[in-house]
Structure formats: structure tokens, C-alpha cells
Amino acid sequence: MSFLAAPAQDAAQVAAAGSTNAEEMPAQASKVGALVLFCADIAAVADFYRALGVPLETEEHEGGPQHYACELDGCHFALYEGSDGQAPAFRTRGYTFPGFVVTSLDESLAAVRGLGSLVLQEPELYPWGRRCILQDPDGRMIEIYEANLSQFVTDASETAGTGRDGPASSAPKKPTE
């Protein structure tokens, strides 16, 4: 195919035609391929994520900086040394709120508590699972959740929140020790 060929249909033309044929659709993102966090205290942050069960290993590519990384269900997760600074405030521009599925919320929570990590929201039930909000050593808020509700909930009306991003108040609760 020549680069001078007529362009493919744009999204509006495809939508107007009602086509669902993937060959006629414009390019689309299908999943997250990488999540890279820059850290002021990379060793403490690596210990935190390892306590959650993230299998981080030391890596270095073609003379680049040493960092920690792993594959999580097809997503490359990496930690790199960053400059000092503070994470953006919750729900402000530039803020990122990653969530991790864990096999046992209680075990993961106990492991990070053992490191002295802050728990910003104790475990609660939501339509997608049982979750809590933690703060990593760099001040990033993260969600960990256990997706298997069958052992916790028999009726969806028993869940605490209504949206994927948490309770209607939208702000995490104050830290607990």
C-alpha cells in the first residue's frame, strides 16, 4: 500500500455508515500497555509494591538507568528514580489513581501496614469488589481491590458505592493508623 493512497474513512464516516467491521474502524486503544511511576525514594516504593504482591525485578536496558519492573497481566509496570517533589493532590490536573487487583485484600493490607503505610480508606464493598485506598511512600494514593464478591456480597444493594471511582463523596477518608 502506498503512503499516497486515499486516506481511510474517518470515524464520523464509519459511525454514519453504522459499520462495526474492525478493518473499517479507525485505530483504537485496546488496553493499557505500560504504567511507569517516577519515585523520590525508589527503594521504599519498590518495597511497598512488592508487599502488595507486585513481582518487581531490577532491570537496566542498553545503558539506561537501573529501575524496577514487571509484567502485570500484559501491562508493563515500572518504577524509575525521579526527582524530589510531591504527588499532585487528589483529583487535580496530573493526578493519577492506579488500582491493583489483589488475590487477598486482607493479606495485602496487612503487608503494607507492616511497612508503616497509610491506609486512607479502610476496606469497603463496591459493585466491582472489596477495596481500600492506600498511600505509597511517595504520597500517591492507590486502590487495591479483591474482585471476587461472591464471598462478601449476596445482593448488589449491600455495596457501599455506586461508581467505579468510589463513594459519592469522591474524597478518600482521613488516614487511619
- pLDDT, tens digit, for every residue of 36-80? 999 999 999 999 999 999 999 999 988 889 999 999 999 999 999
- pTM comes to 0.70
Can you name the residues that pair with 119 across neighbouring β-strands?
A: 134, 176
More confident residue, 145 or 25: 145
- 86-108 pLDDT tens trace: 778 888 998 889 999 999 999 99
Q: Is the pLDDT assigned to residue 9 strictly greater than 60?
A: no
CB 59, CB 67: distance < 8 Å = yes
**Which residue segments constitute the domains of the chain, with CATH numbers given?**
34-158 (3.10.180.10)
Which of 97, 99, 123 has its CA nearest to residue 109? 123
Cα–Cα distance, 168 to 146 (Å, whole number): 20
Instruction: Quote the DSSP letter at residue 115.
Output: T
State how far the alpha carbon of 18 is from the alpha carbons of 11, 24, 27, in Å: 10, 11, 16
